[in-house]
Amino acid sequence: MEPLLAPLLIVVNVIHFSNTAIMNLKKSSVFFSLLFIPFCLAQSNYMFACIDDYSPYQYIGPPPHGIHITALKNLANTLNKEIQFIESPNIARCVRMLKNGDVDVIAGLNINEERKEFAFYAPYKILEDHVILSNGSNKISDYQSLQGKIIGVPRGTSYFKKFDEDNSLKKISIQNNKTGIELLLKKRIDVIIVSKSVAKTLIADVSKVQLKTTVLEQVDHSNKMSYFGFSKLNQLNLPQNEIIKQTTQAFKQGKFRTK
């Protein structure tokens, strides 16, 4: 009889332990759920923006500063959020973070088809003209002059639809515009394209090495806007249409305009 009783007692004890464990687990789940609720609410009070070092728009700092930084702070105020900056080595990493919902927004993000899958947009500012920087051995006068030239494009950067989708151009990926200048000096590439504001910050170096500058005529008249790009997985706790509405209204009121 005893050999039979022992397994029976073990089974009873296991069942008792299992029921007790389940009850404790349920209590723990309720406890952690109560902790999680205020954490989620706290998260929704912040707006996480990804920034990389891209003068004069964004300087990592400390503290972060620049045209985009000021605009992002004003955007956070518009949406009644507190701003938190997440630093990244380049725009490509920022775009990946936006796609994964690790950040809520990027300033100055241009629209392309791939990004529409994971981002939505609201107006930030009027798009600046593009400036072509080339070394002295290359004569660039217009868009067609880019044919046959080796063009350095920072990873993750989108310019305008015609250029982005033009597979006839020789485009190579570079780390950033500073790297582009170095490659121009070594004549390993022929051209980089930047905005007027970026060109101004590089003008001292351009003068020293006698690089040529050419303002690229606007070839895509359908879109003259630079945008805030919001993640479709954002944690702002606001409907998408409300984010667009409030941001658009702030844009029209000139809240993102630089003085």
Q: Domain limits of the chain?
A: 1-43, 46-124+227-252, 130-216
pLDDT class of 185 with cuts at 50, 70, 90: confident
CB 210 within 8 A of CB 181: no
pLDDT of residue 11: 34
Give me the pLDDT at residue 55, please.
83
In angstroms, the CA 55 to CA 61 distance is 11
Give the model's pLDDT for residue 243: 98
Query: Edge to edge, what strands does the sheet with 191-195 contain?
Result: 170-174, 150-154, 191-195, 130-134, 212-216
pLDDT given for residue 100 in this prediction: 97
Q: What are the backbone angles phi and psi of residue 114, rounded to the nearest 5°?
A: -60, -40
Asked if residue 64 lies in contact with residue 58, where contact means CB atoms within 8 angstroms, the answer is yes
HSE (side-chain half, CA atoms, 13 Å) at 234: 25
Q: Would you state the pLDDT for residue 39?
A: 42
C-alpha closest to that of 238 among 130, 67, 145, 122: 122
In this structure, are residues 199 and 128 in contact, taking their beta carbons and an 8 Å threshold?
no
- Are 163 and 169 contacting, i.e. CB atoms less than 8 angstroms apart? yes
CB 179 within 8 Å of CB 203: no
**Fold of the domain spanning 130-216:** D-Maltodextrin-Binding Protein; domain 2 (3.40.190)
Q: What is the pLDDT of residue 200?
A: 77
Could you tell me the pLDDT band of residue 68, with boundaries at 50, 70 and 90? very high
Task: Give the closest residue to 163 by CA, choosing from 197, 127, 120.
Answer: 127
**What share of the chain has pLDDT > 90, as a percent?**
46
Are 46-124+227-252 and 130-216 the same fold in CATH?
yes
Helix extents (H) in 44-175: 67-78, 91-100, 161-164
Give me the mean pLDDT over the 151-165 stretch.
88
CATH class of the domain whose range is 46-124+227-252: alpha beta
Rounded to whole angstroms, the Cα distance separating 98 from 154 reads: 18
Mean pLDDT calculated for residue range 235-247: 97
Q: What is the tens place of the pLDDT at every residue in 193-224?
A: 988 888 877 766 556 566 777 887 665 545 67
CB of 151 closer than 8 Å to CB of 85: no
Contact 158, 224 (CB under 8 A): no
Between 26-30, 175-179, 180-184, 202-206, the lowest mean confidence (pLDDT) is in 26-30
Q: What is the mean pLDDT of the chain?
A: 80
Question: Which H or E run contains 171?
Answer: strand 170-174
Taking only the tens place, the pLDDT of each residue in 11-48 is 334 334 344 444 444 334 433 333 443 444 445 799 99
Q: Provide the 8-state DSSP code for 34.
A: H
